[in-house]
Structure 1
């Protein structure tokens, strides 16, 4: 059968080559390809002018243009086949149509995978491997269709029965279910990614609300895709009730921490207690919030180390947010000066020195106060405000300390050392140590303290 089909196809193509009508088919295919490429280029140029300032939409349009050109060409070839079929043999067009359809399917799969999983434009190794697998499956299917093996393969898969418990399912049904679930999931992930990108551009909505809407929309789309794909295959959805009950028991017993982190993630996003870019401290971790996911939050420390914190930790325990209502943060440094220092003249000098640092806020000027009378001197505290806590606090504190040090050095203000006096009580009652008999102790030289 396949040999007869291939030989018949080759014979029809050879017979078409002997007729002048084959030139019309070649001209039609060539013209459809050229017109499809030109129309895709015009459409891309027209949309690029409208979306010149919208980077995300422009990137999506540029990637979809690779799908647009072969799709338009395929539609034009279908129109050409309907026009030439009454008057000519169109065997060449019959080969070109599945070839273009396979090419469109491969490009469309690549586009959906890149939009769903390659957010930054760079595809990972797993995405590239999936793309190669999809391309191989499509081209193998095209080869089976051209050679006539496709009906025989379908018949073999349909007759292969696999026992699944009390039921018997054909291998064809299983493959159709897998393909249906994968296809609908890819479409759902692509739609979720596109919706998330559109939501993130809404500046009028708080970033936490946008994140909640994007997460919920993606979850709903995935659920609808799974249910729709299973119903299309013919699987009774009522059997999922048992699975749902078992899943509920498992969530209640063994997955309490995970479920708590998921719920805490939505609580954080809805109550807006923390947003991306905030500087927070939770437990022993301090850093900038770079990502808020459904289960965990990523904090980037000032040393560049990223910590993955479960969301439950932010809800169940205390958390310090340095930029919740505003980004103004107070820092302070202390210095001890000698008692003979003119403290009333020194405090304004310290305030002016701290104000010379670039990151110190000028709207809330620094303040220097006398804390208390310490054992070794007068302890002075210099407090100052910054408006960029995400840039770290150690560097600006160091700059303020250097400015204070220069003021102390230029005004010859002494920083006292710690002084401790040790007294030995009842020293006369302590036994005197006698030198060994074999050694002679020389008297100390004149002028040396005993």
Structure 2
């Protein structure tokens, strides 16, 4: 086994042999110190500008802020390496090399933390795993600096097996997982950027924006996998080995998932339902608040959210109250006494719906004489509302209150059932023997 480069041991040996005051060593220390100062200066100067409310970098948030110092400092050390190399071409630049490794580790940790936070929407688990991943990255770079990492890599590469004509080792698998994970993170981050841009494109239909976002996400994931495999020396044609197994899986246990996925694209393409539509699916009614590749989120008017599989919308009847027109017709019934002026009642019903923002005035609300009951005249008023997704309860309550006030002001009687209870005191004879013979009820009171 060939000896590995141990930057720390070589740096310590170089200092012990030649001391700190050698000109090339002083130059390297100056470059490192200058890099730290410039990095910190850039950090404190740029941080307020990035965190401003109207900054174009605000969406990148803490990811860019954490990246400023190590990236600027690393750039300075790289430039310093070139300059010191011009003046001292034969000198080993080990001090700058160690600084480069440390700064590069900080850059990698900052980039990875930024990608994780933005891809997974600041999920609670990201903070915990971020620290663990940072510790692994520091460990890997520490092993690299002391020259142990290459030996570990050789040992992992010796453990191998063959898949067809392809040699696969443990090292290859780990490199493949790391490459696929990194490329997938980048792909998902790019899809988030595309989603953010598309959702701001108001000239496009909402469903079209969602569909384009899903297509871009799927394409980026496929491209990421195809790019990652050759990076570790795996022929992408090896995936054909798993094609048959995947086909069997789709034909058996995964066909429902595949059906939901395909149905999601069908829904987005034919625009049968869109974000914000008020729909009824079976006994569930609500507003579509989210469209995903596997299901839709149906938010009812009481705040309850139902996850409805996409294939349910394709294979069953969906009542879409917002398909061609978002307006919904509402008819509210009332009863009035026979002595009421019906023409005045009709005008008052229409007046009760005037001046309400949610009630459409073109076409205007219309009153109806529905029929004649046993003790009342049945009337109603019908009108269109422009925002059915906000519910009907509060609007009906307000109109009922207006009708009540208007009827009271104009003396319109609202009939209601009344039960009269007559209480009498039984005679002494009835109280003693319980005999009802000869009992006559009291005469009713005079009316009026």
TM-score by length of 2: 0.84
* In 2: Cα distance, 1:366 partner to 1:391 partner: 19
- Structure 2 partner of 1:156: 155
Structure 1 residues 262 and 447: CA distance shift in structure 2, 3 A: closer
Q: Where do 1:127-276 residues align within 5 Å?
A: 127-161=126-160, 169-276=168-275
- Structure 1 partner of 2:425: none
Structure 2: tracts of 5 or more residues without a match: 420-431
**Number of aligned residues:** 426
Query: Structure 2 residue aligned with 1:27, among 30, 43, 66?
Result: 30
SS of the residue 2:360 aligns to:
coil
> What CA deviation, in whole Å up to 9, does each residue of 1:65-121 have, x standing for no partner?
432442232122012112213425533212111111111111111122222222xxx
Q: CA RMSD in A?
A: 3.2
Offset of residue 290 of structure 1:
1.1
* In 2: Cα distance, 1:232 partner to 1:215 partner: 26
- Structure 1 partner of 2:302: 303
Larger mean CA deviation between 341-350 and 62-71 belongs to: 62-71
Offset of residue 370 of structure 1:
0.2
SS of the residue 2:202 aligns to:
coil
* In 1: Cα distance, 2:399 partner to 2:155 partner: 80
* In 1: Cα distance, 2:80 partner to 2:55 partner: 39
* In 1: Cα distance, 2:105 partner to 2:298 partner: 45
Q: Where do 1:19-418 residues align within 5 Å?
A: 19=22, 21-38=24-41, 52=54, 58-60=58-60, 63-85=63-85, 86-87=87-88, 90-118=93-121, 123-161=122-160, 169-417=168-416
Structure 1: tracts of 5 or more residues without a match: 421-437
SS of the residue 2:287 aligns to:
strand
* In 2: Cα distance, 1:440 partner to 1:94 partner: 115
Offset of residue 214 of structure 1:
1.2
Q: Give yes or no for contact 2:4–2:150 (8 Å, CA) kept in 1.
A: no
Q: Give yes or no for contact 1:287–1:301 (8 Å, CA) kept in 2.
A: yes
Structure 1 residues 194 and 401: CA distance shift in structure 2, 3 A: same
Q: Give yes or no for contact 2:7–2:94 (8 Å, CA) kept in 1.
A: no
* In 2: Cα distance, 1:3 partner to 1:38 partner: 34
* In 2: Cα distance, 1:357 partner to 1:213 partner: 38
Q: Give yes or no for contact 1:376–1:418 (8 Å, CA) kept in 2.
A: no
* In 1: Cα distance, 2:240 partner to 2:160 partner: 26
* In 2: Cα distance, 1:154 partner to 1:185 partner: 24
Larger mean CA deviation between 68-77 and 94-103 belongs to: 68-77
